[in-house]
Amino acid sequence: MSTADQYFIPEPSRWPIVAVTGLFFTVLGIALWVNDVNIGPYSVILGMLVVAYLFFGWFGDVIDESLSNKYNKEVDRSFRQGMFWFITSEVFFFASFFASLYYFRNISLPYLGGEGHLGESHILWEGFKYSWPLVNLPDGTNYTQLKEPMGAAGIPAYNTAILLTSGVTLTWAHWALKKGSKGQLMLGMFLTIALGVTFFALQAYEYMHAYKEMGLTLNSGIYGSTFYMLTGFHGLHVTIGTIMLIVITVRCAKDHFTKDNHFAFEGVAWYWHFVDVVWLGLYIFVYWL
């Protein structure tokens, strides 16, 4: 329980500028790398190292402050609201990809196939028939031929079950935290992490299979493009989420949280549930329909 009775304003901190430096070298590096400028990769590595250092430093400070009870209820509320708005912005990031998928499937591809308002476009792509998943492209010259689209059964279905279960185990852990039962809390956290890692492993396996055997690559036309963009960014979020879960599990083990003061736990839980919900959307719109 926090004892501070005023809003905590941190002292001047080096972390923001370190964060900016790390980000700057990372993105600069990527920009150079994709253009085959040979210093690119080094810049990325440098940037990532700075970012890693940053995470330990910045979160370290925050944890210290939290543990020395500098945060009062109002600070806690700021963190919660901040997290809420951050997740809102993430929702819109994914919305841009979902909307694109919708746009291709229901608006632009029918045009190329000869239907709808710009159906005249078909005369440029004679012989093209529109169906989803798009196996035969309007002009496949520069693209990889897709052999077989991704089905909804098998790994994707298991992954859905896995992620949904992880949501349940995480909620269980939270419940245990509030009840003060450390054993159940730790078990819940380990299960959640294990499920997250399993999801990731299955996803990696699926990608490999898709690349090697199914001809499903980033380069196999709009089906591959949307597939990898959506599942890829989701996978990235799973990875980040899993790392955050590991961090808070360590903190659980160290008894950092009390039953009514554990924002970090809740923030991560929200994030994980968000990742979960995105997956449901993916499962329905990318794999299933």
Partner 1 sequence: MSAVIHESDLNSEAHHHGPPTGFKRWLYSTNHKDIGTMYLIFALVMLFLGGAMAMLIRAELYMPGLQIVNPDLYNNLVTDHALIMVFGLVMPAAAGMANWMIPMMIGAPDMALPRMNNMSFWLLPAAAILLVSSLLVQFIPGTGTPVNTGWTLYPPLSVQVGLGMDLLIFSVHLLGISSIMASINIVTTILNMRAPGMTMMKMPLFVWAWFFTGLLLIIIMPVLAGGVTMLLFDRHFGTSFFDAAGGGDPVLFQHLFWFFGHPEVYVLLLPSIGVLGMVIPTFSRKPLFGYKPLVYFMGFLFALGLIVWAHHQYTIGMSLGATTYFMIGTILISIPVGLMIFNFIFTMWRGSMTFETPMLFAIAIILMFSFAGVTGVMLAVVPADLQYHDTYFVVAHFHYALIPGAVFGLYAGVFYWLPKWTGHMYDEKLGKIFFWWTTLSFNLTFFPQHFSGLAGMPRRIIDYNIQYIEFNQISSIGAFLFGLSHLLFLYIIIKTVKGGEKAPAKPWDGAQIGTPGLEWTLPSPPPFHSFTTPPEVK
Partner 2 sequence: MDLSMLKPIAVTRALASLVLVTITSTAFAAYDLNLPEPAAPLTRQMFDLHMLTTWIATIIMVVIIAIVGYAIIKFRKSKNYEADQNFHTSAFGTWSWILVPVIVLGIDLTIAGSAGDALKAVEDYSQKNDVTIKVIGSQWKWTYEYMDDGIKVVSNMLPEEKAGKHYLRAVDNPLVLPVNKRIRLLHTATDVNHAWWVPEIAYKKDAIPGYINETWTKIEKEGTYRGQCAELCGTGHAFMPIVVEAVSEEKYEAWKAKQKMALAQAQAEASSDKVWSKDELYSKGEKLYNTNCAACHQANGAGIPGVFPALAGSKIATGDKAGHIDIVLNGKAGTAMAAWGKQLNDLEIAAIITYERNAWGNNKNDTVQPADIKSARK
Place of tokens 């490999």: 208
Please state, in angstroms and rounded to a whole number, the distance separating the CA atoms of residues 250 and 259.
16
Span 140-179, contacts to partner 2 by CB under 8 A: 142
Quick one: which of 240, 265, 275 has its CA closest to 159?
275
Q: Give kind and range of the element (H or E) at residue 198.
A: helix 182-209
Report in angstroms how near the CB of residue 172 gets to partner 1 at its nearest: 30
The answer to whether the beta carbons of residues 193 and 249 sit under 8 Å apart is yes
> What is the C-alpha to C-alpha distance for residues 242 and 231, in angstroms, rounded to an integer?
16
CB neighbours of residue 287 within 10 Å: 20
Please report whether residue 253 would count as binding partner 2 according to CB under 8 A. Answer: no
Residue appearing with tokens 């090697």 = 212
Cα 227 from Cα 40, distance rounded (Å) = 27
For position 70 contacting partner 1 by CB under 8 A, the verdict is: yes
**Sole window of 17-25, 153-161, 190-198, 267-275 interacting with partner 1 (rule: CB under 8 A):** 17-25
123 binds, among partner 1, partner 2, none (CB under 5 to 8 A by kind): partner 2
- Residues 18-47, mask of contacts with partner 1 (x by CB under 8 A): -xxx-xx--xx-xxx-xx-x----------
- Identified binder of partner 2 from the candidate list 1, 9, 34, 123, rule CB under 8 A: 123
Q: Is 106 in the site for partner 1 (CB under 8 A)?
A: no
Q: Pick from 38, 63, 85, 151 the residue near partner 1 by CB under 8 A.
A: 85
Contact status: 131 vs partner 2 (CB under 8 A): no
Min dist. Cβ of residue 267 to partner 2 (A): 41
Measured from the CB of residue 79, what is the shortest distance to partner 1 in angstroms? 8
Quick check: 121 binds partner 2 (CB under 8 A)? yes
Alpha-carbon distances of 282 from 205, 238, 272, rounded to whole Å: 18, 13, 15
User: Which residue, 262, 109, 248, is CA-closest to 178?
Assistant: 262
Instruction: Provide CB contacts within 8 A for 44, sequence distance 6+.
Output: 25, 26, 29, 30, 33
- The partner in contact with residue 51, picked from partner 2, partner 1, none with C-beta cut-offs of 5 to 8 angstroms by kind, is none
Report the partner that residue 153 touches, choosing among partner 2, partner 1, none (CB closer than 5 to 8 A by kind).
none
State the Cα angle at 92 between 90 and 96, rounded to 5°: 120
- The reply to whether 124 sits near partner 2 by the rule CB under 8 A is yes
Residue 100 as a binder of partner 1 (CB under 8 A): the answer is yes
Q: Based on the shown chain and the rule CB under 8 A, indicate whether residue 110 belongs to the binding site for partner 2.
A: no
Q: Identify the residue among 14, 179, 212, 254 touching partner 1 (CB under 8 A).
A: 14
Residues binding partner 2 (CB under 8 A):
108, 111-112, 118, 120-121, 123-125, 138, 142
